[in-house]
A and B are shown apart, each in its own frame.
Chain A
């Protein structure tokens, strides 16, 4: 029973998603299947973002950078053997002249994203919350400028095409489940709880002997790995990548999903992706035009973005903790036990001090 209670918040997220995906695989039209696969990849990305932002309370604008790093690393290893020596002549010889198997390439790409997260985190996590947020924006811009102009290696702002596409809904589903499980295990681990303590009361946590720096750095690195996974999936799903796909728009989209769902809980991150993906898809279809009787109605292009921003603002103003209100999906408890949320972070700050 304890085991069931422990795993319930993760299982309660995974099972409905898995059922939805399997149903869409068997019955839904191809366009819906594509939407589902995209949403699954976004779940990986937003859960990756959540691991840092949700648990630490520090907004990061730099996380899609790690997606870009991993996506390009995967592209360099797997794409277009014939064209690579011409289009990306500046690559080191072993990358330029070889094509690597998919699994090792995915793993090394994810490792590259994690390594960059660790290295940049060494610097960024020294800063206080807001300064760290702004400086994570610097990270986003640095990588964007470098990749946009490093023509001989990244093809500049042009798209890299010919990446093998093996990411289907089942593959993305497995990865989304993996990301959810990793995030869940982290947030209930002692490291995760100490970080949540710093989020709820920085001063009390520090006074209790928690190192703000190391607890944040660990989460930043871990979320870098998960973002890397999202980047690899994205590259192998689309088959084509360009650096400007990993810039402010994607940053906004992932943050909006996290905020709408509720950045303080894992369930919020997942629900946010599902809800906003649905809204986006509906408005995309409306922008493309629907026929009502004989008339063809279409919303002007750009409506979808306005709606997205408006939804996010409304949530921020009227329901600051998002749709899930910062809660996980939990089994109802007996009266004897206090609810799990109350005993979380602040008490733990005290507990950590005693050990």
Chain B
């Protein structure tokens, strides 16, 4: 029984983490047909902003030394700035390119940022301790749950609700959904393209910053590839959910997170290292039966 609850908690925490990343990717994809590889490096750079750039493997803290609220603000602020900067420098000049070109360019931006981190911080993994007390287990109804899992779920649930409210209730949110539905039409009706796209990048930066903090609290290490796996999972989540559909992205995120935890728990021990391969194979299987994804939007099809 305890075991089952533990698995459900793990699945919920990981699923909501992936849902957050998938939403960030889905938002940007919605407004400019860009699948943003650099999302991985937003999270990585957010995490690295906690420490002073040195080659040491136990570096002194930079933002990590600030009081909690300030630290969270600084990290997320850095990532938002970075996201806006990449939009302005790399993606805005390419706005009218086809999606394949945008995809390749985001791959290049990602490669650039990743090697910039290597240049500044050296490529070796580092250890960093923030939120130490959170890794302790919390006792709930006789079941021990790591505090960081609860935190992840709480933060993710809050952000999901806030994001949904933002998209449904505020004028800017409605403009974003309109832009995701049909960008040309939205512009003709007076939705400002630059602002909508900038806001989408800012939100994706905000989510990436949050994810970076959650990842660091969970693992206590910094690694240049730390943002990669969540973002790759989120890519598949958006494809499973249906390209261009925000509810689809969140749903897809939960699916890959839950499947990943289930495989980790119930696979025989000697097959467990192959977990990721199992999840990705499942992605391809789902696509075999629903090539358009689970929730099909008009954005998924080429308009004539």
Given the known interface contacts A203-B302, A316-B101, the answer about A146 and B287 at a Cβ–Cβ threshold of 8 Å is no
Interface size class of A (residues with CB under 8 A): 35 or more
Q: Is the CB of B111 within 8 A of A130?
A: no
B200 to chain A, nearest CB (A): 17
Q: Is the CB of B111 within 8 A of A134?
A: no
- Mark interface residues in A288-309 (1 if CB within 8 Å of B CB, else 0): 0000000000001111011011
- The 10 lowest CB-CB distance pairs between A and B, nearest first, are A309-B112, A149-B273, A305-B115, A145-B277, A302-B119, A138-B280, A312-B108, A309-B111, A142-B277, A317-B93
A259 to chain B, nearest CB (A): 6
Which residues of A sit under 8 angstroms from B236, Cβ to Cβ? 134-135, 138
Which residues of A sit under 8 angstroms from B235, Cβ to Cβ? 134, 137
A123 located at the interface, meaning its Cβ lies under 8 Å from any Cβ of chain B in the complex: yes
Q: In the docked arrangement, what's the CA distance between A306 and B114, Å?
A: 9
Which residues of A sit under 8 angstroms from B119, Cβ to Cβ? 300-303, 306
Given the known interface contacts A123-B284, A123-B287, the answer about A316 and B115 at a Cβ–Cβ threshold of 8 Å is no
Which of A126, A203, A305 has most chain B Cβ within 10 Å?
A305
Q: Which residue of A lies closest to B235 (CB)?
A: A134
Q: Is the CB of A135 within 8 A of B276?
A: no
Q: In the docked arrangement, what's the CA distance between A48 and B168, Å?
A: 47
A325 located at the interface, meaning its Cβ lies under 8 Å from any Cβ of chain B in the complex: no
Q: Is the CB of A130 within 8 A of B287?
A: no
Which among A57, A128, A134, A303 is the interface contact of B291 at CB below 8 angstroms? A128
Q: Is the CB of B302 within 8 A of A59?
A: no
Which residues of A sit under 8 angstroms from B283, Cβ to Cβ? 135, 138
**B interface secondary structure, majority:** helix
Which residues 277-304 of B have a CB within 8 angstroms of A? 277, 280-281, 283-284, 287-288, 291-293, 300-302, 304
- Mark interface residues in B33-62 (1 if CB within 8 Å of A CB, else 0): 001000000000000000000000000000
Given the known interface contacts A131-B239, A137-B235, the answer about A142 and B280 at a Cβ–Cβ threshold of 8 Å is yes
Which among B94, B109, B111, B304 is the interface contact of A308 at CB below 8 angstroms? B111
Which residues of B sit under 8 angstroms from A305, Cβ to Cβ? 111-112, 115, 118
Q: In the docked arrangement, what's the CA distance between A104 and B271, Å?
A: 33
Q: Is the CB of B287 within 8 A of A127?
A: yes
Q: Is the CB of B104 within 8 A of A135?
A: no
Given the known interface contacts A146-B274, A313-B108, the answer about A127 and B103 at a Cβ–Cβ threshold of 8 Å is no
Q: In the docked arrangement, what's the CA distance between A126 and B284, Å?
A: 11
Q: Is the CB of B99 within 8 A of A130?
A: yes
Which residues of B sit under 8 angstroms from A313, Cβ to Cβ? 90, 105, 108-109, 112
Q: Which residue of A lies closest to B93 (CB)?
A: A317
Residue ranges of A at the interface with B (Cβ–Cβ < 8 Å): 57-59, 61, 123-124, 126-131, 133-135, 137-139, 141-142, 145-146, 148-149, 202-203, 252, 255-256, 259, 300-303, 305-306, 308-310, 312-313, 316-317, 320
Which residues of B sit under 8 angstroms from A137, Cβ to Cβ? 232, 235
Q: In the docked arrangement, what's the CA distance between A150 and B302, Å?
A: 41
B223 to chain A, nearest CB (A): 14
Q: Which residue of B lies closest to A310 (CB)?
A: B112
**9 A–B contacts from the bound complex (CB under 8 Å):** A58-B100, A129-B100, A130-B35, A130-B243, A134-B235, A135-B239, A138-B281, A142-B280, A145-B274
Q: In the docked arrangement, what's the CA distance between A217 and B61, Å?
A: 52
Given the known interface contacts A141-B280, A145-B277, the answer about A316 and B108 at a Cβ–Cβ threshold of 8 Å is yes
- Mark interface residues in B210-237 (1 if CB within 8 Å of A CB, else 0): 0000000000000000000000100110
Which residues of A sit under 8 angstroms from B291, Cβ to Cβ? 126-128, 131
Q: In the docked arrangement, what's the CA distance between A203 and B98, Å?
A: 15
Which residues of B sit under 8 angstroms from A58, Cβ to Cβ? 100
Q: Is the CB of A141 within 8 A of B277?
A: yes
Which residues 116-160 of B have a CB within 8 angstroms of A? 116, 118-119
Q: Is the CB of A256 within 8 A of B274?
A: no
Given the known interface contacts A137-B235, A142-B277, A312-B108, the answer about A130 and B100 at a Cβ–Cβ threshold of 8 Å is yes
Q: Is the CB of B112 within 8 A of A145?
A: no
Q: Is the CB of B277 within 8 A of A255?
A: no
Q: In the docked arrangement, what's the CA distance between A187 and B86, Å?
A: 36
Q: Is the CB of B287 within 8 A of A128?
A: no
Given the known interface contacts A58-B100, A130-B243, the answer about A309 and B108 at a Cβ–Cβ threshold of 8 Å is yes
Q: Is the CB of A133 within 8 A of B100?
A: yes
